[in-house]
Each structure stands twice: as C-alpha cells, then as structure tokens.
A and B are shown apart, each in its own frame.
Chain A
C-alpha cells in the first residue's frame, strides 16, 4: 500500500541575484515526504536547507520547478498551502513584548478561529507544552527552551497537516533538545507530518524517519538513517596488531566479508558488512596465523561517514 505523499517536489530551483554573480541556492531538488513521517533535511550551513524550506512554506517563489504541499501547488495556490502548514523559522516568530497566551490566541484568530475557540486552543497548547505558568508573562522572559516550545505551539494552533521546523534545536542545551525531540515525536503520533532542517547528525539520526542529505543545493543521498548508514562502507573494525601489519591487511582483504581493508596510523581498518559477525571470524583467522590483536574496536557508521562518502568532506568539519 503506497503511503500518500504530503510533500512532493520536482527539480526545484531557486537562484538569488548577487553583485558577485547569481547564486543557485537550490539546484534541482526532487523529493517526496510520506504523510505522517518526520522528514529531515541534513546538510552544512549554506547548503540550501532553509531556502528549500521557505519555498515549501510559500515564503519564496521557486525560480523553476514544482512543489506540492498538502495537495496544493506552492506557486499557484499559496493561500491554500498556508492553511495546511505551520512554519517555525530559526528566528522564532514570537514577539518578546507579547505574552505566550497573546501570541497563541492571535494566531488562532488569524486562522479564523472565534475568540472563545482561540482562547481554549491556546490553553490546550499551553498545558500540553507545560507553559501554563508562564502564559501571561512577556515571552522575552522565557528560557530558550520555553521560547522554542512556544514557537512550535504557535505553528500548531490551527492543527496543520505539516509542520516546518528550521533548525529547531540550534542553541539549546542537551536537556532542552531532548525535550523538544520528545515534543516532535508526539506531534508525529498525533498525525502531523514534520519537515525539519538540521546540521546535527545525532538529531537527524535519532529523530527522522526519512532523510535527505543536501550539499550545495543538491540532494546527495536520501533514505532512512539506517539505510543511509548501511550504504556506506559498512561497519568499521579497527585492529591494532604488532608485527607485520601489511601482511595482516593483505590477509584480511581477501576475506569475503571484508569490503575494504587499509592501514591508517598503524592500525588496520576494515570496512565490513556486519561488524558483530566479522569480529569472531577475524579473531579466528588471525589466531590461525599465529597473530593476536592487541586492540580491537567496532565503530558503527555514522551519517558523517555517509556525507564524507558523497561529498568528500566531513559534515562535522563543514559545520561552522
């Protein structure tokens, strides 16, 4: 049974004019997001994540290409798209001088809710996000985590089908981040599709059902976090041996379960399909040749390895 796609783009492009020449921030993005998923857009700063997000949120027209959100074309029916989406920018969206309650109520009213309904909905959100105590204080007095929760709450007032989150946990401490992850998962449970951008590997890995890795305006890889990590050279088994390390490399390279074997910094580095199964084989093999490893470590592939493979750069190093 094919899952309905809540977001679909085809060769989406956006060029900005600049003095030094045109910049193609989004260079042909084609993707699909299944309804009910948490979809992540992972990439370094400047990759085109935010620009793509803004096009989908109808804030920017695409230069060319097509995008459909919740069944409506973003260029032709932006007004209809806006009723179906919530958008939480990096800059937030709430005004410091207003109270949390005021921001939630006016958002509801701007979406045609009657005063009473908007107030009830505001209270519902305040309770769900544990902001009820702070509701009538100016939101400039909220902590970073509270403010983020409020901003997401504002995006959710009208119960949209899709929530767009631009770097939702940037600048938050680990506790607030974990808290927000829980919140986002809860949104998915209630049926909202979430499209988020991030440059945090752990976040993409832990939170997202599907990912697209973007670099310089192009998608370089897509799939679930596990699928992506498996695409790379597999698990990494690092072995420290004394003696003839070259011989060890040659020996292991010929093994069927080893994809690649190399020597790095005096350590033998193996890329294997299933590290946990390879370890006993490797141990038996080395033992049979009279060698015993001194150290051995198994390292699961990370999304950084995926990025590294596709672009030749480490995402961690690119994150400024």
Chain B
C-alpha cells in the first residue's frame, strides 16, 4: 500500500543521505561515550546511598543514559529538516501524490534506526564497565528507546515546519528537552529526590521510560512500571506521529 512503499522510499533516501554526511551520527555517539567514561565512575560511590535503586551503579546509570541519548539524538533532527525546507524539498514533495505520513515516517524511522545503532554501541562499551544485560530485557528496552525516538523526532520536525528556521528552533527544542531530561531521573535517579519533585516527574513520559528501562535491565519483569512505561510511550508516539504527519500536509510558512 502507498504509505508503506513511500515510507520505505523516504527511509532509504534518508539513510543514504545521512551516511554520506555522518557528522551528526558521530557527534551523537560521542556524547554518551563521554558520559560513560567521565561521569559513570562517579556513581560507584553513590550506589551505596539509601534511596538508590537496586542493581549496581552501571545498571542504574546506563539505561538512563540510553534514554538520554535517544532523547537528544531525536530531538534535534528538526535542524536537518530546516535545510530541506530552505531548499524547497518539502514543497516539491508536497506536489506529488506521495503519502504525507510517509514524509514523516520515512525520516523518523531513519532517526530511530540511528539511535538504536548508538544504543547498541553504548551497551557494548558499557559491558566491560560492569553493565549486566539480559536478552529479553534488552530487546524490550530497545523497543522503548525506539518509542522515545518516535515521540521526539516527529515533534522536532513539527517544530521545524512551524518555526521554519534554525534560529527559532534551537532555543525552542532546548526549552523542551531540558526539563524533560531533568525530570526523568537520567543523571541521578528520581528516588533520591524530595517527594514533590517525584510527583512532578510522574507527569513526564520519559521518567516512566527510564524507570521501565532500569527494571528491564535488572530483569525485574513483573514490575508494573514496565507496562506503564511502554503503554505511555506507545500512546505518545501515536500522538506525535499523527501531529507530525499533519504538519507535513499543511502549507509551509
């Protein structure tokens, strides 16, 4: 059917173009590696503090870093679209019979594929640091990361389509990602936070994604948090993709 075919065409195109200019890919990989090497070791001592979730420092830290990488990797994809907008590419594609959903999904799936590659590299590098993994948990965790990408990437493209230029886009994306990051327990687990802050965090879907990821890495499959995290991310992802596809249909500024 048309949407699938067009999505595949745009996905292929997007991957080809990204591989031709892998600057963003490399930068995206560098950030989590630095966190791993330069911040991770600090956590070894905090792990023994009361309120710190079980599992050992790295099994608490790495899932958080994975979500953070997924967040930042997908939140800034709008910049690439700004360049395409300026070049008239989006307009040109709108004057074709192609599926509007495909315009978004082809690009977002490329973003998800990239962030999963980054996640794999990160996990592999973290194992010598003491990360313990289990097959099933890892797969579901990766699915969660894909969903994070499917929320942030369409959102980023929507903002790019509305705002039009990089100047307006940068502060807007930063204003959104910073609180999302701080309230998700990525850097330090929210269980260390005062109760009022923990309550605020529960409204952040990324918080639930992080909690679910930690459970998955620790093999705590019975935990209800996993279900909550997955369902929440699925709902948000569907909403984000719908809004994103609609933005591609509407007239560019």
Q: List the 10 closest pairs (A to B, CB-CB), nearest first.
A: A91-B88, A93-B92, A87-B95, A93-B88, A89-B88, A110-B96, A110-B98, A92-B88, A95-B89, A97-B17
Check if A83 sits within 8 Å of B97, measured CB to CB: yes
Q: Cα distance A61–B13 when bound, in Å?
A: 30
A-B contact count (CB 8 A): 70
| Chain B residues packing against A (C-beta within 8 Å) | 6, 9, 13, 16-17, 20-21, 83-84, 86-89, 91-98, 251-252
A74-124 with Cβ < 8 A to chain B: 79, 82-83, 85-87, 89-98, 102, 106-107, 109-112
Cα distance, A97 to B20, chains bound together (Å): 8
Given contacts A79-B97, A89-B91, contact A110 B84 (CB under 8 A): no
For B93, the closest partner residue in chain A by CB is A110
* A198 at the binding interface (Cβ < 8 Å): no
In the complex, per-residue mask of A49-62: 1 if CB is within 8 Å of any chain B CB, else 0: 00000100111110
With A and B bound together, what is the CA distance between A71 and B9 in angstroms?
30
B251 close to A60 (CB less than 8 A): yes
Contact A102 B21 (CB under 8 A): no
Contacts of B84 in A (CB 8 A): 95
- Tell me whether A110 and B16 are in contact in the complex, defined as CB-CB below 8 angstroms, given that A82-B97, A91-B91, A96-B87 are known contacts: no
Q: Which of chain A's residues have a CB closer than 8 A to the CB of B88?
A: 89-94
CA of A96 to CA of B252, assembled, Å: 20
Check B97–A110 contact: CB distance below 8 A.
Answer: yes
- Count of residues in A whose CB is under 8 Å from the partner chain: 31
Counting chain A CB atoms within 10 Å of each CB, which of B17, B21, B83 scores highest?
B17
Point out the residues of chain B lying under 8 angstroms from A145, CB to CB: none
| Inter-chain contact A98/B17, CB cutoff 8 Å | yes
Summarize B's interface: helix, strand, loop or mixed: helix
A31 CB → nearest B CB, Å: 20
Asked if A95 contacts B97 (CB within 8 A), the reply is: no
Question: Which listed residue, B6, B87, B95, B252, touches A94 by the CB 8 Å rule?
Answer: B87
A57 touches B95 (CB 8 A): yes
> B87 contacts which chain A residues (CB < 8 A)?
91-96
Chain B neighbourhood of A194, CB < 8 A: none
Known: A57-B95, A110-B93. 7 other contacts (CB 8 A): A58-B95, A82-B97, A83-B97, A91-B88, A94-B92, A97-B17, A110-B9
Whether B97 and A154, one on each chain, are in contact in the complex, defined by CB atoms closer than 8 angstroms, is no
Which residue of chain A is the closest to B251 with respect to CB atoms? A60
B93 CB → nearest A CB, Å: 7
Cβ–Cβ < 8 Å partners of B94 in chain A: 59
Contact A102 B13 (CB under 8 A): yes
Is A138 at the interface (CB under 8 A from chain B)? Answer: yes
Q: Which residue of B lies closest to A61 (CB)?
A: B251
- For B89, the closest partner residue in chain A by CB is A95
A263 to B91, CA, bound (A): 52
Q: What A residues does B86 contact at CB under 8 A?
A: 91
Bound form: Cα–Cα A124–B216 in Å: 55
Q: Are B96 and A98 in contact (CB under 8 A)?
A: no
Q: Contact at B91–A59, with CB atoms within 8 Å?
A: yes
- Residues of B near A59 (CB, < 8 A) are 91, 94-95, 251-252
Q: Across the two chains, which residue of chain B brings its CB closest to A80?
A: B97
Task: Tell me, rounded to whole Å, the shortest Cβ–Cβ distance linking A267 to chain B.
Answer: 48
Most chain A beta-carbon contacts within 10 A, residue among B17, B84, B87, B95: B95
Establish whether residues A112 and B95, one from each chain, have CB atoms under 8 Å apart when the complex forms. Answer: no
Question: Nearest Cβ distance between residue A90 and chain B, in whole angstroms?
Answer: 8
A117 CB to nearest B CB, Å: 14
Contact of B97 among A90, A92, A111 (CB under 8 A): A111
Cβ of A287 to closest chain B Cβ, rounded Å:
62
The answer to whether A110 touches B13 (Cβ under 8 A) is no
Residues in B with CB closer than 8 Å to A107 are 92, 96
Say which residue of A85, A98, A110 sits within 8 Å of B6 (CB atoms).
Answer: A110
